[in-house]
Amino acid sequence: MIKIDTEKCIGCGQCVKDCFPMSIEVVDGKAEINNKDCIKCGHCIAVCPQNAVAMDEYNMADVKDYDKESFSIDADNLLNFIKFRRTVRQFKNKKVEEEKIAKIIEAGRFTETSSNMQDVSYIVIRERLDKLKDLTFESLKTMGEYILNNHTLETKLYRKYGKMWIKMYEEYKENPKNDRIFFNAPVVIVVTASSQVNGALASSNMELMVNVLGLGALFSGFFVRAAQGNKEITDFLGIKKRKEIVTCMILGYPDVKYLRTVPRKEVDINWK
């Protein structure tokens, strides 16, 4: 529940103007909130010039006052940072500190979600990563065999992947270091959500934090494919009801050094 400190409130109406669900009104010179319709987005907390708004559901210690020096990022530096990031598939045999993992997840936690659902969850796999690898390679091998043994239009489109997955499985079984899905990284973070968009947005911000911390990451589409409809994998991960796997972030210290950005296609934009 959102509460207004009436001693601090000056009835300026800034919270009313910025409240999308129109859950606030000024009555007798003080803000009043209809908590029934409120989506708990916190805009009233952020916009109030008197710091007169608080919320029971959340830890108010999360709230930080804005100052330009701490919160501003140069636009050109940010764009260069985005251009320089690379997908990493070579990792050092080095543990990732827990505080860095926590900071990466914090970047996801503060990412916007539709209707302020805050529906994104994170599963961190470290100690039992070998078990997840076994389940994943086995699932892809089974899928590959199904594709190669069936001749529908859909399976024809995926035949090259079917062959690849079986070969990857065989190489892994021969030597677990031949790991072409997780690339011997020390940490995997599986992002789940009830909304694909919410999970994807959180994952994108998480990857920015990964690079700030001197780490590298790969989003594994092969893992997401392996986990789809695979009860062993979803049970192992403990996927919550009404949530699905959105991304799988493979994480560690890079064992490769990039020296420059890379080119991209010309932008496809249509001005109206």
Residue 214 and residue 106 share a domain: yes
Model confidence pTM above 0.85: yes
Predicted local confidence at residue 151, as pLDDT? 83
- pLDDT average, residue stretch 7-36: 94
Does the residue 68 lie in any domain? no
Predicted local confidence at residue 35, as pLDDT? 84
Residue 82 and residue 33 share a domain: no
Residue 148 and residue 269 share a domain: yes
- For residues 216 and 207, give the distance between their C-alpha atoms in angstroms, rounded to a whole number: 8
Which 8-state DSSP code applies to residue 58? S
Predicted local confidence at residue 256, as pLDDT? 97
Q: Tokens 């000024």 sit at which residue?
A: 26
Average pLDDT, the chain: 96
Per-residue pLDDT band for 6 (boundaries 50, 70, 90) equals: very high
Residue 223 and residue 109 share a domain: yes
Residues 68 and 169: beta-carbon distance below 8 Å: no
Residue 93, pLDDT above cutoff 80: yes
Last residue of a domain, one of 41, 62, 83: 62
> Position 268: which residue type?
D
Predicted local confidence at residue 165, as pLDDT? 97
**Residue positions counted in the chain:** 272
Residue 156, pLDDT above cutoff 90: no
Domain holding 9, by residue range, is 2-62
Residue 153, pLDDT above cutoff 80: no
Calculate what percentage of the chain has a pLDDT beyond 70.
100
Residue 152, pLDDT above cutoff 90: no
Per-residue pLDDT band for 51 (boundaries 50, 70, 90) equals: very high
Residues 228 and 185: beta-carbon distance below 8 Å: no
Residue 265 and residue 165 share a domain: yes
Does the residue 69 lie in any domain? no
Show the DSSP H helices in the chain as ranges.
Answer: 14-17, 43-47, 68-71, 75-84, 98-109, 129-149, 153-157, 159-174, 196-212, 221-227, 231-237
Residue 159 and residue 230 share a domain: yes
CATH number at residue 42: 3.30.70.20
- Could you give phi then psi for residue 59, rounded to 5 degrees? -85, 110
> Position 39: which residue type?
I
Does the residue 67 lie in any domain? no
Number of domains in the chain: 2
Residue 131 and residue 214 share a domain: yes
Which 8-state DSSP code applies to residue 182? T
Residue 135 and residue 37 share a domain: no
- How many CB atoms neighbour CB 43 within 10 A? 19
Residue 101 and residue 48 share a domain: no
Predicted local confidence at residue 155, as pLDDT? 78
The separation between CA 51 and the C-alpha centre of its own chain, rounded to angstroms, equals 30
Q: Which residues, 6+ apart, have CB-to-CB distance to 135 below 8 Å?
A: 226, 230, 232, 233, 236
